[in-house]
Amino acid sequence: MIKTVGILGGGQLGRMLSMAAARLGLRTHIFEPLASPPAGDVAHRVFTAPYSDRETLEEFARSVDVITYEFENIPAEALDIIEVIRPVFPGRNALATSQDRIVEKRFLQSIGLAVAPYCEINSEADLIAALATIGVPAILKTRRFGYDGKGQVKITAATQAASAFAALEGAPAVLEGFVDFSREISIIAARNAQGDISCFDPGENTHRGGILHKTAVPASISHALQTDAILLAARILNALDYIGVMGVELFVTQSGLMINEIAPRVHNSGHWTQNACLIDQFEQHIRAVIGWPLGDGQRHSDAEMINLIGNDIEALAQHQNCAIHLYGKTEVKPGRKMGHVNMISPKSA
Amino acid sequence: MIKTVGILGGGQLGRMLSMAAARLGLRTHIFEPLASPPAGDVAHRVFTAPYSDRETLEEFARSVDVITYEFENIPAEALDIIEVIRPVFPGRNALATSQDRIVEKRFLQSIGLAVAPYCEINSEADLIAALATIGVPAILKTRRFGYDGKGQVKITAATQAASAFAALEGAPAVLEGFVDFSREISIIAARNAQGDISCFDPGENTHRGGILHKTAVPASISHALQTDAILLAARILNALDYIGVMGVELFVTQSGLMINEIAPRVHNSGHWTQNACLIDQFEQHIRAVIGWPLGDGQRHSDAEMINLIGNDIEALAQHQNCAIHLYGKTEVKPGRKMGHVNMISPKSA
């Protein structure tokens, strides 16, 4: 019987995973290179070491019953060390797929799903050729280690090829064509070892400065599209024999849904589930990872989640009608997510 | 600005208070005489010492910004030590009132509220006289330190006076007359320093073996009685200049509501708020204690909470349609609360 869950990464997602595990009576151990991680305040134990520290990684792995993670950019070498000691969920296959934008797009295409036009970019010449094919505007992204708009350059004229390529400092990249979409939605889906799948209702996302600002549920899309989103997410999870929660970001286009990207973890656009569902995405993830049945993810209320960026928190604390979730981060930095709020209203159709 | 909340007591209530504080970005420090307290797994720091340990109590108090507690039986001497270092909420007045059944009943009567007939018992002669007045059946209870039916003896015949008195081993006691009630309800009320009061909807309680088994919301009582319960709770909180959450247990009788007892803390019969309200009783308590506005305590769903006693947990984990809250207690004992489940359904009138 599982008593202790190991979590790689001690940020806010690790913190909320840790609290979900605690609700189920479990202890958590956090592995995090940075000192005083937000998750540490609600965990039984914290291991502070770089991902290159074999000894501490091994000690961490031996101290828990199962391992999961809050972010997808875990070095492969660290995984090599821990996965021979304890099971890691979601598995290697899902991680490898989502860690590389090209591998991810090829995988999605291989199971018949639509993605934006893209080209692999390893040189300035590649980029010039790709711009000729894909056209502008387009976005040049590093293949690996990007998040919240980092490692991305928007290209609006073919003449910007040299400077855009230089900006990524030689990292392997992908050029993505702009998608003409009406809305951005995301779907948070869970799958357990028995192959059961449970999806939360799709949310509609609004970004500011490349960072998620708001998720509203239900998304203002047709029931047919909602069903499409659920089926498509389920197809991805099945194809990867996935265990855990995944966030799937989608564009709503005139020809249907197109996948922006997938994240093999709990997702910022799923935070609304904390206050609008009986079982939230964090608990659903923990349930999958520890081999429990998935819980009831039906929403009981409509919801709107807004991220708290920077220092607008004091004012929000005065609002009675929202649930406030703060991450306990001591230092406020520009663009840093400090928390989020969830507002709910009676469930619509 | 408050960053760290100190909690006296590391049981399940302390654990859930700690998680509520974490949601608001706060750290918690737990003071608990017993090793490995359930709250310790989700707290930043744990102080393990008896309540007689002045030095550790002082260190604990200095390490936090404000102090609260999960149980009302805190020794007065311990309070003397910590309250000169940091504020303690709910305040001394509320604690002193609820720590002694006679003081509590006199207080409730003094503000015009109904309680069961009672007599102060300090000797077997007192008990014989009281039984003659109050009649049987009646319950003999210790004035202090009782919970979950402990320190109580039911008396069904006047001839049991000697054995009943002996069973309490000379502790000062109170004889309470039996109340002819149709239902037991409770109301969880919060008040902050600004004097704002917010009450959750009354719940209807069912006990088994002297321990709360189930709370159902809404209680099947008239709207008039619901309003009575709310007004009565508010009167108690105002009279005590109370800061925090209080649980008020009530009997529904033919002549209206009668108060069974009050608890100056979050209460087992308020656990349903975790899954049926935007802000639950634990967060409401923390908000009051740290000087925040109270949150929206309206229920969005009907709810039923069932306590998990002993080892019936494995089976319940298989139910998808309930939210499971386990306390991380390692040892199962007869009658020990190991967790609870909340089931919700669409809100009725």
**Any idea what DSSP says for residue B94?**
H
Residue B143 pLDDT > 80, yes or no? yes
Please list, in sequence order, all residues whose beta carbon lies within 8 angstroms of the beta carbon of residue B227, skipping any fewer than 6 positions away. Answer: none
Residue A268 pLDDT > 90, yes or no? yes
Residue A277: strand pairing partners: A299
Residue B311 pLDDT > 70, yes or no? no
Hey, how many other C-beta atoms are within 10 angstroms of the C-beta on B145?
12
| Pairing mode of beta strands A301-309, A211-217 | antiparallel
pLDDT band with cut points at 50, 70 and 90 for residue A149? low
What is the pLDDT, as a whole number, of residue B349?
Answer: 74
In this complex, the residue of B42, B44, B327 whose CB is nearest that of residue A19 is: B42
**Residue whose C-alpha is closest to residue B294's, from B74, B6, B24:** B24
Q: pLDDT per residue over B2-44, tens digit each?
A: 999 999 999 999 999 999 999 999 999 999 999 999 999 999 9
What is the pLDDT, as a whole number, of residue A150?
Answer: 72
What is the pLDDT, as a whole number, of residue B317?
Answer: 66
Answer yes or no: are the C-beta atoms of A95 and A241 closer than 8 Å. no
Least confident stretch, A320-334, B103-117, B285-299: A320-334
Distance CA B338, CA B8 (A): 20
φ and ψ at residue B345, rounded to 5 degrees:
-145, 160
A348 and chain B: CB distance < 8 Å anywhere? no
From chain B, pick out residues whose CB is under 8 angstroms from the CB of A37.
Answer: none
Six token digits for residue B143:
């004035």
The residue to which tokens 């308590």 are assigned:
B285
pTM: 0.94
Answer yes or no: are the C-beta atoms of A57 and A51 closer than 8 Å. yes
- What are the E-state strand segments in chain B? 4-8, 27-32, 45-48, 66-69, 118-121, 138-142, 152-155, 173-177, 181-191, 197-199, 203-208, 211-217, 244-253, 256-263, 301-309, 323-326, 337-346
A322 and chain B: CB distance < 8 Å anywhere? yes
In this complex, the residue of A18, A322, A324 whose CB is nearest that of residue B24 is: A324
**Residue whose C-alpha is closest to residue B322's, from B339, B344, B338, B300:** B344
Distance CA B345, CA B349 (A): 12
Q: pLDDT per residue over B278-291, tens digit each?
A: 999 999 999 999 99
> A-contacting residues of B 5-24, CB under 8 Å?
15, 18-19, 22-24
Shortest CA gap B235–chain A (Å): 22
> Domains in chain A and their CATH numbers?
4-88 (3.40.50.20), 117-177 (3.30.1490.20), 181-346 (3.30.470.20)
| Pairing mode of beta strands A27-31, A4-8 | parallel
A278 and chain B: CB distance < 8 Å anywhere? yes
Helices (H), chain A: 12-23, 54-62, 76-82, 92-99, 101-110, 124-134, 161-167, 223-239, 273-276, 281-289, 313-316
What is the pLDDT, as a whole number, of residue B210?
Answer: 82
What is the pLDDT, as a whole number, of residue B309?
Answer: 84
| Cα A296 off chain centre by | 21
> B-contacting residues of A 237-276, CB under 8 Å?
275
In this complex, the residue of B26, B293, B329 whose CB is nearest that of residue A320 is: B293
Please list, in sequence order, all residues whose beta carbon lies within 8 angstroms of the beta carbon of residue A94, skipping any fewer than 6 positions away. Answer: A240, A242, A244, A246, A264
Chain B residue nearest residue A40, CA to CA: B44
What is the pLDDT, as a whole number, of residue A74?
Answer: 92
B278 and chain A: CB distance < 8 Å anywhere? yes
SS3 content of chain B, % helix, strand, coil (to 5): 30, 30, 35
Distance CA B66, CA B172 (A): 33
Six token digits for residue A334:
């520009």
Please list, in sequence order, all residues whose beta carbon lies within 8 angstroms of the beta carbon of residue B128, skipping any fewer than 6 positions away. Answer: B158, B161
Mean residue pLDDT of chain A comes to 93
Rounded average pLDDT over A130-136: 94
Residue B147 pLDDT > 80, yes or no? no
What is the pLDDT, as a whole number, of residue B146?
Answer: 67
Answer yes or no: are the C-beta atoms of A106 and A100 closer than 8 Å. no
ipTM of the prediction greater than 0.90, yes or no: yes
Residue A1 pLDDT > 90, yes or no? no
A305 and chain B: CB distance < 8 Å anywhere? no
In this complex, the residue of B278, B301, B325 whose CB is nearest that of residue A323 is: B278
Rounded average pLDDT over A262-272: 97
Question: Is the peptide bond between A137 and the residue preceding it cis, with omega within 30 degrees of 0?
Answer: yes
From chain A, pick out residues whose CB is under 8 angstroms from the CB of B338.
Answer: 25
Shortest CA gap A90–chain B (Å): 21
| Cα A21 off chain centre by | 19
Contact flag A324-B23 (C-beta cutoff 8 Å)? yes
**Residue whose C-alpha is closest to residue B304's, from B321, B317, B327:** B321
Residue A324: strand pairing partners: A341
Answer yes or no: are the C-beta atoms of B297 and B285 closer than 8 Å. no
What is the pLDDT, as a whole number, of residue B314?
Answer: 66
Q: pLDDT per residue over A150-177, tens digit each?
A: 788 999 998 999 999 999 888 899 999 9
> A-contacting residues of B 41-80, CB under 8 Å?
41-44
